[in-house]
Structure formats: C-alpha cells, structure tokens
Amino acid sequence: MTDTQQPASQQWGLFGRPLFNDASSRALARVGVVDVGSNSVRLVVFDGAARSPAYFYNEKIMCGLGAGLGQTGHLNPEGRERALAAMIRFKALADGMGISPLTAVATAAMREASDGEAFRSDVLRATGIPIHVIDGEEEARLSAQGVLLGWPGSYGLVCDIGGSSMELAEINGGEVGKRVTSALGPLKLRDIKGGRKGRKAHIKEVVEGLADRMGPQNNRLFLVGGSWRAIARIDMERRGYPLHVLHEYRMTAKGISATIDYIRANDPDELRARCGVSSTRMALVPYAMDVLKQVIKTFKPHDIAVSSYGIREGMLYEQMPQNLRDRDPLIEASYFAEAKDARIPGFGRHLFDFVLPLFKSLPQDRLRLVKAACLLHDVSWRAHPDYRAETCFDNATRANLGGLKHSERVFMGLALLHRYSNSRDGTRFQDLYTLLTDRDIHLAEVLGKALRFGAMLWPEKGVPMGEIRWFPKKKQLELRLSPAGIPLFGEVAEARFRSLASSLGAETRVIHLRH
C-alpha cells in the first residue's frame, strides 16, 4: 500500500495529521506532546519557528511508573494513579489552550509491563487520548532525530537514558544509522542483585555487548535524558560554570570522572538542593553514574555534549520536509522573533547588509551570529530603557535558541547588550565573559555598536539610507549617506558613529551623496 493509499492517521506518524502543510512556512501551529516515560510523565506544547520550535508550555510529573517493574512485571500501582491523574490534568490544559488532540507516546515501562495495555485503556477511557507505545529502536531513532533538530548535520553517538531503558543511536551527516536498546535504566538497575559490584559487572557486560553491535563510535557523545541532565547540573556546580543552560553544555571524560567523585563526597540532599535536582531524580543519579562511566570507558568519545532535545523534538523533526530541515535553526528562530516582536519587521535584513562591510572577513560560523544579532536587535524594545541591555543579554543567553554553543550565546548576548549600551562594565554578566576570548569580546562590542548606530537610520521602504565602507589597513571608517539618509544623521547618530569608530581604532569620514 502506498503512502497516499494509507489512512490519514497512518500517513502522518504519531501525530496522525500533518504539522508542516506549507514547507515554506516559518511558523509552527501550536502542538502538544505527552511523553509517558518510566520515571516521569511530561507535557510539552511547542510553538514558534517551524525549524526551531519553542516551549510554549512544559510540565513534568515524576510518577515512577517503572519502579519495581523488573521484580513484579507490573507498572507501579502508585505510579499508575499519579500518571492517570497527570493525563487527566494535561487533557484539561490542552482543552483550555485549544490544542486538542494531544499526541501521547510511551516507552520502556509501558511496553514491558503486563498491565501496560490495561493502563492505556484507562487513559483512553478517562481522557480520550490514545497512547502510542514505541519499541526501543524507534525510541532510539526519535531521540537521535531530536538531537538533529538542534544540531543539523551532526555526527556521533546519541545516548538516551530513561527510567527503565537506555538507547544508543548513531548519527552521521544528518542521518540516523545503527541503533540499539537495553534495560540499563536506573529503575531497572536498582533491582539487580549483588550490590554495586554485581550492578557494575552487569552494566559492563551489557554496554560491551551494545558496543559490539554499534561498532566504533569515538566521535561526539550526545547525552539525552533527565538523569544525564542531573549529572550535568552537578558538573556545572563543581566547576563553578557561569551559564546555567543545559542544552549544548560540554563535558569531558576526565571532568565527568571528577564529578562522580564529587557526588560521592557530598551529602546528596545538600547537593541536590544546591543544584536544583529533585529528590526523585537524585535517587537515580548513582545508578546513572555507573552507566555513564562505562559508556565513556567503552566508546571513548572525544567530546561529550548535553542535549535537551529528545523524543518529543524528534517527533516534530520526523514530519519536517528536507528543505525545512536544511534551514539554520538559529536564523529561523531569529526571523520568527523579529516578525513577532520588532517594531519594524524586516529591518534586520537591511541592517545586516548595512553592517556587513565591517565583517566580510569573518568565517561563515561567525557571520550567522552577526545575521542573527541583526534580526534580534529590536525584539526587546518593550523593556524599560534602563533594562533593555540586560534584557537583550538574558534573551540571547537563556532563550530557546537551537544551533548555538554556549560561547556563541554569550557572544550574541554581549553584542545585543552593546546595541543598547556603550559600556559592559558593572553588569551582572561579568562571569559569563570568561567564556569568550578577548578577540570575541571586542568583536561583539563592534557588532553591538554597529547595530546601535545602524538602528538610527531606519529606512523608508525601498529607499537606501547609506552605506558603511571599512578600510582596515588605513583604519578609516567611511559613511556615505544618501539624500534620504542625510536628515537622519543628527547629533545622536553622529555620536554613535564616532563610538563605533573608536571601538575600531579608526578615523571617520562622512560623505553626503547628492544623487
């Protein structure tokens, strides 16, 4: 049977309907996903840019459906009650938001429990929401696609840990390759006999078996799942890391080993309170640590990155046409924000053309940051003038923007801070500047001051205001103003132009074009 002959509910996968009817569209119609995991049940409502969906709503309830599953073969009775109550609540929320129907997926606990089907029936009867139970390899594939949503074209090994299982998937050049599943979830490992020694021996045997099936995987290791994120939060605490954003957080094998020692040396209740980790999650961390240590020892990755994107995001990526997947998530999110919040949507593109002569020698990975900053330069105008600089910095460093390293977040934040302020001294962001080199700090200042000046030359539609010419060898910054731009070059604009030239160590020249 061809795709076009299939029922509509089967043509569009788990959602049962198309999410991206128009491949050229930049916006995603609001959609809700429920992830019924072995440890937690979570509702995420996506909205925003089609290529870089944002979290309109995100709620997690720790239910522990898979607790004791290895011994009893049944879902945890208390967990069933909590999970059913969560589903009823999520259905009410979805109705209130006008986003029904919700799409619900379930993983290891539901597919393994003898009463999993009965629980699905209970949920369907109480809420009308069908739960789609996916197998381990499909779970691995969707998690890997979630990573690709945030890192287009990435390569490496995706390791997704849930309460009752752990999946591995290979990604290379934007494609998902080999994938395997295992019972190495912390809830299952608690039931392994023989104490820690027996558990470690079991983990070693299973991981080495997975390695035989996956083959060499010594590129980047992408960590997906709540237990990994808890370990990453503690790693940040140990290091005194200044930016508390888990997505794209980088760790090393040596650093993780030090963090494992740090966890064992500290009181768990005090540590979880300092790091904002729930008691339920913290109880699983010791089991997850043993798994992570063995995965690193076996696969020897050259780099380790945390991904906040997983199954739920992978479900969205599944439906994206290739030309949408190929777009840059950062630029798409920036276009969306500009269209929604800027005073003059579309000016960002003109501003990029205006400031580009200052940055023509930059490599493409830096130019995309310049473009994104131009698109975002005016999205925080509603903030009080005294706080706009800080608001811009916060938005860039903490917003849901895909395709950004932590250092790139800080670079963007600093550039946008200078869009509204000549000085960065005395802000509460001083510690974050340590993630940048002196050269990048200077480049961010130049960019911000270029935006600050260029924003003074709002154009009439289709009428060029002028252009910048930059002669780095002569250290000369030239401004050529069109007849329409001359009246806009008042004393404030002139002061901002001189400030930009000062950051470049340049002399200025202003030319008034008469035709």
pLDDT digits (tens, 9 = 90+) for 272-315: 999 999 999 999 999 999 999 999 999 999 999 999 999 999 99
- Whether pLDDT at 10 is above 70: no
Could you tell me the pLDDT band of residue 423, with boundaries at 50, 70 and 90?
Answer: confident
Q: For residue 472, is the peptide bond before it cis, meaning its omega torsion is within 30 degrees of 0?
A: no
| pLDDT at 401 (0 to 100) | 79
Backbone phi, psi, residue 334, to 5°: -70, -40
Give the pLDDT confidence of 27-74 residue by residue, as tens digits.
888 899 999 999 999 999 999 898 999 999 999 999 999 999 988 999
Task: Residue 139: name the closest of 291, 310, 19, 290 by CA.
Answer: 310
The alpha carbon of residue 471 and the mean position of all alpha carbons in its chain are separated, in whole angstroms, by 38
Question: Which CATH topology does 328-512 take?
Answer: Hypothetical protein af1432 (1.10.3210)
Could you tell me the pLDDT band of residue 8, with boundaries at 50, 70 and 90?
Answer: very low
**137-313 shares its CATH topology with 328-512:** no
pLDDT exceeding 90 applies to what percent of the chain? 81
| pLDDT at 460 (0 to 100) | 67
Yes or no: domain 137-313 corresponds to CATH 3.40.50.970: no
- Whether pLDDT at 143 is above 90: yes
What's the whole-number average pLDDT of the chain? Answer: 92
| pLDDT at 21 (0 to 100) | 67
Under DSSP, the state recorded for 135 is -
Q: Are 109 and 82 in contact (CB under 8 A)?
A: no
Both structure tokens of 369: 């940051």
Least confident of 66-75, 159-168, 443-452: 66-75
- Whether pLDDT at 231 is above 90: yes
Least confident of 10-24, 295-309, 404-418, 427-441: 10-24
Average pLDDT value for residue range 135-142: 95
Task: Residue 444: name the closest of 456, 429, 464, 460 by CA.
Answer: 429
Within 13 Å, how many C-alpha atoms sit on residue 38's CB side?
34
| pLDDT at 6 (0 to 100) | 42
Measured between alpha carbons, how far is 369 from 427 in angstroms, rounded to an integer?
A: 22
Using only C-alpha atoms, what is the Rg of the chain? 26
Could you tell me the pLDDT band of residue 182, with boundaries at 50, 70 and 90?
Answer: very high
Least confident of 132-136, 143-147, 167-171, 384-388: 384-388
Average pLDDT value for residue range 110-127: 96
Q: Does pTM top 0.85 for this prediction?
A: yes
Give the pLDDT confidence of 462-495 residue by residue, as tens digits.
677 889 999 999 999 999 998 888 999 999 999 9
Least confident of 8-22, 373-387, 415-429: 8-22
Least confident of 133-137, 281-285, 457-461: 457-461
> What is the identity of the amino acid at 295?
V
Q: Are 100 and 29 in contact (CB under 8 A)?
A: no
> What is the identity of the amino acid at 14?
L
> What is the identity of the amino acid at 446?
V
* Structural domain spans, the chain: 9-134, 137-313, 328-512
Give, rounded to a whole angstrom, the gap between the first and last alpha carbons of the chain: 66
> What is the identity of the amino acid at 303?
D
| pLDDT at 462 (0 to 100) | 66
> What is the identity of the amino acid at 183?
A
Could you tell me the pLDDT band of residue 457, with boundaries at 50, 70 and 90?
Answer: confident
Residues 6+ positions from 495 with CB-CB distance below 8 Å: none
Q: How many residues does the chain have?
A: 515
Measured between alpha carbons, how far is 372 from 6 in angstroms, rounded to an integer?
A: 41
| pLDDT at 1 (0 to 100) | 34
Residues 6+ positions from 242 with CB-CB distance below 8 Å: 431, 432, 434, 435
- Whether pLDDT at 12 is above 80: no
Q: What is the strand order of the sheet 40-49 is part of?
A: 53-62, 40-49, 27-36, 103-106, 131-133
Superfamily assignment of 9-134 in CATH?
Answer: ATPase, nucleotide binding domain (3.30.420.40)
Count other Cβ atoms within 10 Å, centred on residue 411. Answer: 26
